[in-house]
Structure 1
Amino acid sequence: MRRFSKLIFTIILALTSVLANPKSVSAASEFSASYENHYTISDSGLTLVKHDIVLTNNISNVYADEYTLSIGLTDISKLEIRDRQGLITHRVAKTDNQATISFNFPDKVVGKNKSNHFTITYQTKDIAAKQGTIWEINIPKLDSEELVTKQQTTLRIPVTFGTPSYTTPHYKYLTQEDQYLQLFFDLSTSSQNISAIFGTTQYIDFEIKYFLDNPKPETQTFAVAIPPDTNYQNMYYHSIDPSPENVTVDVDGNWIAQFVMPPNQQQTIFTKGIARINFLPALSPLSPEDYQRYLGDSQHWQVTDTSITALAAKLGTPKSIYQYLVEHLSYDYSKVYLSSSRLGALATLSDPTKAICTEFTDLFVALARASGVPAREHNGYAFTQNSLLRPLSLTQDILHAWPDFYDTSTDRWYQVDPTWGKTTGGVDYFTKLDLNHFTFVIHGDSSTKPLPAGSYRPKNSTDKMLLLNPASPSEFPPPSVTLTHTQKPASVDLIFKNTSGVAFSAPLSISLSGKNQSLPSLHIPPFGQHLVNIPLPGFRFIPSSLKLDVNYGDHTASLAITAGSTLTREIVLAAILAAGLILVCLTFVAWRLYLRRRTPRPPLYW
Structure 2
Amino acid sequence: DEEKVKYLAPDKYWETDSAVIKEKAKDLKTPKQIYNFVTSYLVYNENKLNSASIERLGALSAFNSPKEAVCMEFSDLFIALSRSAGIPAREVVGYAYTQNTRLRPLSFAAQGDLLHAWPEYWDDTFGWVQVDPTWASTSGGLDYFNKLDFNHITLVQRGLSSTNPVPAGAFKKIGDSQKKDVEVAFAQELPQITATPEIELQASDNIISGIPTKVKATVKNIGSTSVIGESLMLTANRLKITSENPINLPLLPPFSNKQFTYDLESKSSLKKFQDTLILSFGDTETAKNIEIIPFYYLVMSPKFLVVSSGVVLVVASGLVLYSKLHKKRVKIFRDFL
State the TM-score, normalizing by the size of structure 2: 0.54
**Partner of 2:90: helix, strand, or coil?**
strand
- With over 3 angstroms needed to count, the CA separation of the structure-2 counterparts of 1:375 and 1:459, relative to structure 1, is same
CA offset at residue 417 of structure 1?
A: 0.4
AA partner of residue 378 (structure 1): V
| Partner SS for 1:321 | helix
Shift of 1:554: 4.2
Q: Which runs of 5+ in 1 are unaligned?
A: 1-287, 478-551, 557-606
Q: CA deviation at 1:458?
A: 2.4
Where does residue 20 of structure 2 map in the other structure? 307
Aligned counterpart in structure 2 of residue 377 of structure 1, from 91, 99, 117: 91
- How far 1:443 moved relative to its partner? 0.2
Cα deviation code 1:527-560 (max 9, x no counterpart): xxxxxxxxxxxxxxxxxxxxxxxxx96499xxxx
* 2:167 counterpart of 1:444: no
Structure 2 Cα separation of the partners of residues 289 and 553 of structure 1: 33
1:314 CA drift (Å): 0.4
Matched, 1:459 2:174: yes
Partner residue of 1:330 out of 37, 43, 46: 43
Q: How many Å apart are 1:460 and its aligned residue?
A: 3.2
Match of 1:421 in 2: 136
Which residues of 2 match residues 31-180 of structure 1 at below 5 A?
Answer: none
Q: Match for residue 364 of structure 1?
A: 78
Q: What is the number of equivalent residue pairs in this alignment? A: 195
TM norm structure 1 = 0.31
Question: 1 CA distance for matches of 2:133 and 2:98?
Answer: 15
Aligned to 2:241: none
> Residues 304 and 555 from structure 1, CA distance in 2 versus in 1: closer, same or farther, beyond 3 angstroms?
farther
Task: Give CA-to-partner distance per residue, 1:349-389, whole Å, 9 cap, x none.
Answer: 11111000000000000001111111110000000001111
Render the CA deviation track for 1:445-472: whole Å, top value 9, x for unaligned: 1011011001112233243211111224
Q: What is the CA distance between 1:402 and its match in structure 2?
A: 0.1
- CA separation of 1:476 and 1:299: change in aligned 2, threshold 3 A: farther
Matching residue's letter, 2:33: S
Judging changes above 3 Å, is the alpha-carbon distance between structure 1 residues 369 and 459 closer, same or farther for their aligned structure 2 residues?
Answer: same
* Equivalent position SS for 1:467: coil
Cα displacement (A) at 1:340 = 2.6
1:413-435 Cα deviation digits (max 9, x unpaired):
11100000111111111111011
Percent identity of paired positions between Structure 1 and Structure 2: 45
Residue 342 in 1 paired to residue 56 in 2? yes
Q: Gapped runs of 5+ residues in structure 2?
A: 196-256, 262-337
Amino acid at match of 2:81: L
Q: Residue 398 of structure 1: SS of its match in structure 2?
A: strand
Distance 1:434 1:555, change over 3 A: same
Q: Distance in 2 between matches of 1:357 and 1:476?
A: 39
1:411 CA drift (Å) = 3.7
More helix by share: 2
Q: Counterparts of 1:553 and 1:363 in 2: how far apart (Å)?
A: 44
Which residue is equivalent to 2:322? Answer: none
Q: Offset at 1:327? A: 1.0
2:327 corresponds in structure 1 to none
CA gap of 1:470–1:312, structure 2 versus 1, over 3 A, is same
Which residue is equivalent to 1:398? 114
Over residues 38-76 of structure 1, what are the superposed CA-to-partner deviations in whole Å (9 max), with x where a residue is unaligned?
xxxxxxxxxxxxxxxxxxxxxxxxxxxxxxxxxxxxxxx
Question: Quick check: 1:386 aligned with 2:100?
Answer: yes
> Secondary structure, in 3 states, of the residue corresponding to 1:466?
coil
Separation of aligned partners in 2, 1:455 and 1:446: 16
Q: Once the 2 structures are TM-superposed, how far is the Cα of residue 391 of structure 1 from its aligned partner?
A: 0.6
Distance 1:364 1:460, change over 3 A: same
- Deviant stretches of 4+, over 4 Å: 474-477, 552-556
What CA deviation, in whole Å up to 9, does each residue of 1:213-261 have, x standing for no partner? xxxxxxxxxxxxxxxxxxxxxxxxxxxxxxxxxxxxxxxxxxxxxxxxx
Give the Cα–Cα distance (whole angstroms) in 1 for the partners of residues 27 and 138 of structure 2.
Answer: 25
What is the RMSD computed on CA atoms of the aligned residues?
Answer: 2.3
The 3 A distance-change label for structure 1 pair 292 and 465 is same
Write out aligned runs for 1:129-528 (5 A): 288-338=1-51, 339-393=53-107, 394=109, 396-408=112-124, 410-461=125-176, 462-471=178-187, 472-474=189-191
**Aligned residue for 1:227?**
none
